[in-house]
Structure 1
Amino acid sequence: MSIKRLPFFLSAAKYLNFTEAASEQFISQTAMSLQIKKYEEELGFKLFNRSNTGVTLTKAGGYLYKRCQYITADYNQAVSHARQLSEEDKPQVRIGYSGAYEQIAVTPLVTSFYQRHPSSQVELIYGKRKKKVLRQLEDGYLDLAVVSDYDRNYSQWLKSCPLRYDCCLFLLSSDSEYARYGCLEPSLLAGKPLLRTVENDFTSYEWQIWNVMNFLGLGGNEVIYANDYYSMALLAKSDIGFSIVPECMKDVPMEGLSYVPIAGRKLKTSCSVIYMESSSNPIREEFLMTLKEQAAKTDPAL
């Protein structure tokens, strides 16, 4: 019996939503439904109960999902360790990140780690989308992932450790009439498009953005998407729209942009290091120890 359809089942069981599962597997919803149907035919029993209100796991499907999660986690960790042994004599840790903010957040930590472990190697891998980075972490390709505004309900198998917190600012063109304001009342931007990147591709994050925009009184603004932060910044520079960014992005050298505090509101964003609970990579453990020591110096309560 082939297990080639197992990844489709695991995604469908995790989300209990064939559309979200299809997005994770980079196929259409129709193709996902077909894969699940064929997998059930191969196994000889139903995995899901289907109704007008959605899908749920059958008793057999729930048991298979739980067992396969343990097996998959062990397999991915074994592959990751074997890859390290085969590719490098030098101990290494692979860290994925999904955007410019995450890269800025993790860079000082990498520098600190190198100072303590000069014989180790850190490989930073740009994954572009948050969901892709977390998937690579679950698959064992990455040892750690750095993402912003992580939803702890995403997976019971992943743990998180805070890396940094930042206040948010409005990002505007320097040519904007509001660029030199000491702080900017959100209502002045009503009707101006909000610029966003596609790096955060979670439904939960979309709801978070929607709530933030409503909190600012800008829920009716059009949203324009850019492929990455730098593309978004170029749109802002052209005064096509505005964005809401972490304060540390001011350190990214780009001309023609202004960063203006939000009047009467305090918005914060966060960046975290995400990891599997268990690992066979001792270098990963050293990196996490460096992170936790650094966090304790910044905030003794962590």
Structure 2
Amino acid sequence: MLFKQMNYFVTVVEKNSFTEAAAESFVSQSAISQQIQALEEELGVELLQRQHRKFTLTPAGEHFYREAKQMLAQIDELVTETKRIAEDEETQLNLGYLRVYSGQELHQAIAEFSMTYPEVSINIVNGTHEELYQELRQNTVDVVLSDQRRAFSDEYVNFELVQPEVQIELSARNPLSQQDAIDIQASKGIPCILIANSEQQASEEDFYRNTLGFDGTFLFAESLEEGRMMVIGNRGFLPIEVAGTLPAPAVSVKRLPLTKNGKALIRNYCAFWRKERTNYYIEEFANVLKKLFDEEE
């Protein structure tokens, strides 16, 4: 059985016409009719009941049409990805994620993706929101896991993943740690610890002060680990993005929701990538990540 015969058959059924199917396939009507007859002879079943210039599908023909269409789509995908892999000596996927993110879903997504696509080499970087945005603009990363801080741009795919509440980590020695939640205005007497290098400190402070409304002082740490050590030392509170499943905080640390005017602060987590750089692997990784987040909701 030739895949070409299967393709002819699917085209005839979808066009409901031998003439139109022949024109689309760039062959004569007699040629396409002969190929389908040869297909029926090889299968030993009648796929079409012909009535003058019209036809109807037999039950066997309906089954063969559904399965053949699915199989041809899989073959097209196989050919496309084989060519893609052949074009690159080593296929790479460059990922970026927020430095303050510590959810397990990203690690699980990388592990699951790597098992499915072992031919893809994954490179990983982290940074602040602005650092990751610049990485995307400069094409040094393919896709980033980050929060939304500006209006969606038509130049990017804005693949929404999860909308988690913002929480903070605070030393258990601080009296506010006994509350069920902490309002951002009530917390201004405690320094807010942000994860940012010297070049990104101003933009991070601007976001927390002018967008979220925190009106206190700021301390900065270079890494999430350093920030958490500062929390343990009761130097301030650390905003944490609860996107997915987080490991339990240290025994001497409390994790509490951060509110504003009594309402939980919500952040929109997305996978971002440039539309012009869209490819199969980026979309597959984003879908794996989305599935894992959905399973935790």
Instruction: Output the TM-score relative to the length of structure 2.
Output: 0.57
Question: Is 1:159 the counterpart of 2:148 in the alignment?
Answer: no
- Could you say what secondary structure the match of 1:178 adopts? helix
2:123 is aligned with 1:128:
no
- The share of aligned pairs that are identical, in percent, is 15
Which amino acid is 1:259 matched to?
R
Q: Is the 8 A contact 1:159 1:274 kept in 2?
A: yes
Q: Is the 8 A contact 1:131 1:202 kept in 2?
A: no
CA contact (8 A) 1:146 1:272 kept: yes
Deviation at 1:242, TM superposition (A): 1.4
Q: Deviations over 1:22-52 (max 9, x none)?
A: xxxxxxxxxxxxxxxxxxxxxxxxxxxxxxx
Q: Runs of 5+ in structure 1 lacking a partner?
A: 1-80
SS of residue matched to 1:101 = coil
Q: Which residue identity does 2:257 align to in structure 1?
A: P
How far is 1:105 from its partner?
Answer: 4.8
Mapped to 2, the partners of 1:126 and 1:237 lie a distance apart of 26
**Are 1:225 and 2:220 counterparts?**
yes
Q: In the alignment, which residue of structure 2 is the partner of 1:258?
A: 254
Write the distance in 2 (CA, Å) between the matches of 1:105 and 1:201.
26
What is the match of residue 95 of structure 1? Answer: 95
Pick from 234, 238, 255 the counterpart of residue 239 of structure 1.
234
1:97 and 1:124 in contact (8 A); partners too: no
Question: Which residue is 2:280 aligned to?
Answer: 282
Q: Which runs of 5+ in 2 are unaligned?
A: 1-83
Contact (CA 8 Å) 1:105, 1:164: kept in 2 or not?
no
Secondary structure class of the residue paired with 1:127: strand
- Work out whether residues 250 and 259 of structure 1, in 8 Å CA contact, stay in contact via their aligned partners in 2: no
Measure how far apart 1:114 and its partner are: 3.7
Partner of 1:62: none
The 3-state SS of whatever aligns with 1:261 is: strand
Structure 1: 4+ residue segments shifted above 4 A: 102-105, 185-188, 202-207, 291-299
Q: Which amino acid aligns with 2:171?
A: S
Alignment correspondent of 2:88: 85
Cα distance, 1:149 vs. partner?
A: 2.7
Residue 238 to residue 289, structure 1, CA distance change in 2 (3 Å):
closer
Distance 1:188 1:206 in 2: 18
Tell me the secondary structure at the aligned position of residue 93 of structure 1: strand
Number of residue pairs the alignment of both structures matches? 209
Which deviations, in whole Å up to 9, do the C-alpha atoms of 1:124-159 show, x marking residues without a partner?
Answer: 422323333333333333221122234235x55222
Which residue of 1 is the match for residue 9 of structure 2? Answer: none
> For the structure 1 residues 280 and 171, does the alpha-carbon distance in structure 2 shift closer, same or farther, using more than 3 Å as the test?
closer
How far apart in 2 are the matches of 1:203 and 1:151?
17
| CA displacement at 1:259 relative to structure 2 | 0.9
Is the CA contact (8 Å cut-off) linking 1:198 and 1:228 kept in structure 2?
yes
Q: CA RMSD in A?
A: 3.6
1:194, distance to aligned residue in structure 2 (A): 1.4
